[in-house]
Copies of this chain bind each other. A is one copy, B any other.
Amino acid sequence: PGKPRRMVAVRAETVNPGIRKTEDKVVDSVVVTELAKPTTAYCRCWRSGAFPLCDGTHLKHNKATGDNVGPLLLKKK
C-alpha cells in the first residue's frame, strides 16, 4: 500500500458508496418556492443519512479521508 496504489485508486473510485444504488443516476429536484426554512443544506458528500439533505456527516468523511467537501446551501434570501 504505497503511493502508486493510492494514485490509481483515486481515479477509479466512485463518489457514492451506497445511496440508491438501484438507480442508474441519482438526480434530485427541489422546487425552491417550497423551501420551508431560511437556509436548507443539501448533501454533496454522498454520506448523509438524510440524503438528499445534509446531516453533517461530511465532517466525519472529511476527517477520515482528508477531503474538503461540504453542502450546497439554499437560501431564501
Contact = CB atoms under 8 A, between A and B. Distances in A.
Contact of A31 (B30, B71, B75): B75
A25 B35 CA distance: 24
Main secondary structure of the interface of A (DSSP, over half): mixed
A33 B72 contact: no
A77 B5 contact: no
B70 A26 contact: yes
B20 A9 contact: no
Given A10-B13, A14-B10, A70 B33 contact: no
Interface of A: 1, 5-6, 8-17, 20-21, 23-33, 35, 42-46, 52, 58, 61-62, 64-77
